[in-house]
C-alpha cells in the first residue's frame, strides 16, 4: 500500500498528538525518538485514508494565517458540530465558497493554532 505524508507544523507534539487522536480519530502509526533534543517522529493515520500526518517542528506557538491542511468530509456540518462539541475552535461555519460553487467548506483550528479547512469532495 502506498502511503502519502502531509507535513504539519507543530510546537507541542504531545498536545498535537492528543488533539488529532481525540478529535479526528487518527491512529498512531509511529511514535519514536528522533534525536537527543526529545523531538520524535510521530506519524498519524486517518481512518480509511492512505495519507498520514507527520509533525514537523515549528519554532513558536503562533497560529498560522493560512490553512495548512484540507480535510475531505461528505457531511461538513456534522463534522463541524462534532468538533464544536469537543471544544474545538471553529473559524468559519459551513458555507459555499464563491470560488467553488456547489462545495461546502468550513475552517477550524487545531491545538497548535494551525488553520484547517474541511470540505466536501
**pLDDT tens by residue, 33-64:** 998 899 999 999 998 888 889 999 988 888 88
Q: How much is the pTM?
A: 0.88
What DSSP string describes 88-106? PPEEEEEE--TTSTT--EE
Q: How is the chain split into domains, by residue range?
A: 4-119
pLDDT for res 98: 93
Using the CB atoms, write b or e for 23-54: b if 16+ within 10 Å.
bbebeeeeeeeeeeeeeeebbbbbeeeeebbe
Residues in the chain: 121
Phi-psi region of 78 (alpha: psi -120 to 50; beta: other; left: phi over 0): alpha
CATH H-level, domain 4-119: superfamily: 2,3-Dihydroxybiphenyl 1,2-Dioxygenase, domain 1 (3.10.180.10)
Amino acid at each position: 500500500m502506498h502511503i502519502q505524508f502531509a507535513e504539519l507544523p507543530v510546537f507541542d507534539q504531545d498536545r498535537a498528538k492528543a488533539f488529532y487522536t481525540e478529535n479526528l480519530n487518527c491512529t498512531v502509526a509511529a511514535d519514536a525518538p528522533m534525536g537527543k533534543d526529545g523531538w520524535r517522529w510521530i506519524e498519524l493515520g486517518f481512518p480509511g485514508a492512505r495519507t498520514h500526518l507527520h509533525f514537523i517542528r515549528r519554532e513558536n506557538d503562533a497560529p498560522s494565517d493560512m490553512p495548512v491542511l484540507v480535510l475531505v468530509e461528505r457531511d461538513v456540518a456534522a463534522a463541524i458540530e462534532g468538533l464544536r462539541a469537543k471544544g474545538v475552535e471553529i473559524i468559519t461555519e459551513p458555507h459555499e465558497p464563491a470560488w467553488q460553487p456547489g462545495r461546502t467548506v468550513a475552517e477550524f483550528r487545531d491545538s497548535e493554532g494551525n488553520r484547517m479547512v474541511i470540505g466536501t469532495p
